[in-house]
Amino acid sequence: MKVTKYVITSSESDILPSDIAMKIYGSKYDVSVKETCFGVMVNGEEEVVNALVKDIRALDPAGIFIKDRGFPPGDPRRCRGHRGGGARPGFYMIESESKMLPMISRALASSGEVFPIPEKKKKPLLPSRLEEIVKEGLS
């Protein structure tokens, strides 16, 4: 079965979408490739695509992310050029998560210890203090 996967690069990665595209063009894999603003879309037989994305991930294990896509690249049913403009609704989710990728990349790359983040709990204001504030405010 043919599948499509997004290969998305963190904005801080040294690997550019064009590098990925070039690597695929020069590879043995029989897939089609389309560059997008976030990375590239790869379409081909499932086993081939899975093996390919494994290879691509190795270029920058912490900076490259893979996501499944239902539609083949440029599908007229989804492509905005064919469907009266405007991004498809799911586009905004990729955009939102892409903004987090540098953080996630740094976290993946770090081998250091992880410390739990203490929850900052605010103490409730004492009624006596509230009374003072009200008096100050009204005076």
Partner 1 sequence: MIRIAQLSCGSEYSGIQKEIERAAETVGAKIVYPEVSLEDILDVEKKFGVKVSSGDLNLAMARAVRIVENPDLADAVIVMTCFRCAEAAIIRSEIRKFIHGHSRIPVLSYSFTERTTAETLLTRMEALVTTVKYRGLLARERQKGLTAGIDSGSTTTKSVIMKDNEVIGTGWVPTTEVLKSAEDAFEAAVKMAGIQKEEIQAVGVTGYGRFLVGKHINARLIQEEITVNSKGAVFLSDAQRGPATVIDIGGMDNKAISVQDGIPGGFTMGGICAGASGRFLELTARRLGVDITQLGKLALKGDFRNVAMNSYCIVFGTQSLVNSLSMGCKPEDVAMAACHSVAEQVYEQQLQEVEVKEPVIMVGGTSLIEGLPRAMEELLHVKVLVPKNAQYIGAVGAALLVSGLLEG
Partner 2 sequence: MSKVIVYPPTSMILSDLVERMGHKALVVPERVRELVTANDVQSPPLNVTPEEPKKGLRYAAVDVPSGVRGRMALIGPLIEEAEAAIIVEDPGWLTGCAGCSRTNELVRLLIRTKGIPVLDLSYPTDDAQAKLFVHKIKAFLGGLK
Please report, as ranges, the residues that interact with partner 2 according to CB under 8 A.
Answer: 1-4, 6, 8, 57, 65-72, 75, 77-78, 83, 88-94, 96-98, 100-101, 103-104, 106-108, 110, 112, 114-117
Rounded to 5 degrees, φ, ψ at 34 are -135, 125
Q: Which is nearer to partner 2, 89 or 124 (CB)?
A: 89
Q: Does 92 bind partner 1 (CB under 8 A)?
A: yes
Q: Does 54 bind partner 1 (CB under 8 A)?
A: no
Say which entry of partner 1, partner 2, none residue 51 contacts (CB below 5 to 8 A, set by partner kind): none
Q: Is 8 exposed, middle or buried (0-12, 13-18, 19+ CB in 10 A)?
A: buried
58 secondary structure, DSSP code: T
Dihedral sign for Cα 91, 58, 3, 107, please.
Answer: negative
Size of site (CB under 8 A) for partner 1: 10
